[in-house]
A and B are shown apart, each in its own frame.
Chain A
Amino acid sequence: QKEVEQDPGPLSVPEGAIVSLNCTYSNSAFQYFMWYRQYSRKGPELLMYTYSSGNKEDGRFTAQVDKSSKYISLFIRDSQPSDSATYLCAMRPSNDYKLSFGAGTTVTVRA
């Protein structure tokens, strides 16, 4: 079993729709949770960085963490064609520098 599970998709939505992405994990020591966006053949770009459980909102992006269920989510409101990319979840324990990543979900937003 992988430490971090992420549905690879692909996910295709019309422009303006809400995109819902999620990851599950098995290591209860994970405390910090991140979402990265990666365009084809580029490096990952940090979108959201959250600590422990709760919600965090930044513009059209909302990240949710439910540590009791070992489940994290990313919602993208009013999706745009420019949001078409692979979205990677990542996480780490406190006082640990190694990020553990999901395999990524490929999203296409159709104009």
Chain B
Amino acid sequence: DAGVTQSPTHLIKTRGQQVTLRCSPKSGHDTVSWYQQALGQGPQFIFQYYEEEERQRGNFPDRFSGHQFPNYSSELNVNALLLGDSALYLCASAWGGYEQYFGPGTRLTVT
């Protein structure tokens, strides 16, 4: 049984560029949440998607947007990248949204 998968593993972008990160949830899960984890910090909630709609959003600017597809997979898009966006981006899936299981993350470096 495959767990949560994310792609790519690592990414290097330049300030001002746009990036798209991808997530496939654990089998049987219908909800995907995205978190940002800065070095030495705990993950910070970006938003959660359920039934292809953003169900809840954390304190992140509109530069952060997402999408959920009919097969429950999800994308996180970040526009106009800033140096401060450098972090590990984590995807978590759940059935119903509560008990969340995390993927390995995508490490984004903005130069």
Contact = CB atoms under 8 A, between A and B. Distances in A.
A82 B36 CA distance: 26
Interface string A41-59: 1111110010000000000
Which size bracket describes the interface of B in this complex? Answer: 20 to 34
11 contacts: A43-B102, A44-B43, A46-B100, A88-B42, A97-B31, A97-B33, A98-B48, A99-B35, A101-B43, A101-B44, A103-B42
A92 B41 CA distance: 18
A4 B97 CA distance: 21
B56 A8 contact: no
Given A96-B56, A99-B35, 19 more contacts: A41-B107, A43-B6, A44-B43, A46-B101, A97-B48, A97-B56, A98-B48, A98-B58, A99-B33, A99-B43, A99-B45, A99-B92, A99-B100, A100-B45, A101-B42, A101-B43, A103-B41, A104-B41, A104-B42
Contacts of A42: 104-105
Contact of A44 (B90, B97, B98, B99): B90
Contact of B103 (A6, A43, A49, A103): A43
A8 to B, nearest CB: 7
B98 A32 contact: yes
